[in-house]
Amino acid sequence: MENYYEKLVGLYEETKAAYDKLNGLQSALDRQVSRIYHDIEKSEFDLEKGNEYALRLKETLQNRRVVKDELKKLAPVYRMLRDNVSWVEEQYTKVVAKSYELKASLNVTKTINGVLSDIG
């Protein structure tokens, strides 16, 4: 049988890594927008240069929008896992310890896979 606890923890770790990566990317894009604003603010430019600034700013803002949108979609899943995975871990650890204790006291050596194999 599959270990659903390990799958849940794996999903949480994967989700957290994606969330952290997207958060970092959004911060980097925020800094890039700020740099463009500062470049515009401190320079004299003609129409052509102004158009270049506008295009750079537009592309950066669009990239930021895509990242922000992805973060919004990921956030509910990430928060749910973050808020509950430690509780699940605590409960799972207790159950595993109790199961081990019970199996040892009753001299049970079979696993669920063994039982499923025997039964069919």
Residue 90, domain member (yes or no): no
Residue 109, domain member (yes or no): no
Q: Which two tokens stand for residue 48?
A: 């052509």
Cα separation, 14 vs 63, in Å, equals 23
Give, as one character, the DSSP assignment of residue 72: H
Residue 120, domain member (yes or no): no
Residue 51, domain member (yes or no): yes
Residue type, 22: L
Spatial contact of 56 and 35, defined as CB atoms under 8 Å apart: no
Residue 113, domain member (yes or no): no
**What's the domain count of the chain?**
1
Residue 106, domain member (yes or no): no
Residue 54, domain member (yes or no): yes
Residue 27, domain member (yes or no): yes
pLDDT along the chain (120 residues), means of 10: 86 98 99 97 95 98 99 98 94 91 87 86
Q: Which two tokens stand for residue 49?
A: 């240069």
Cα separation, 63 vs 22, in Å, equals 11
pLDDT at 2: 66
Stretch (H or E) spanning 42? helix 4-42
The boundaries of the domain holding residue 76 are 4-85
The string of DSSP letters for 58-79 reads HHHHHHHHHHHHHHHHHHHHHH
Cα separation, 25 vs 13, in Å, equals 18
Residue 32 neighbours by CB under 8 Å, 6+ apart = 60
Residue type, 112: I
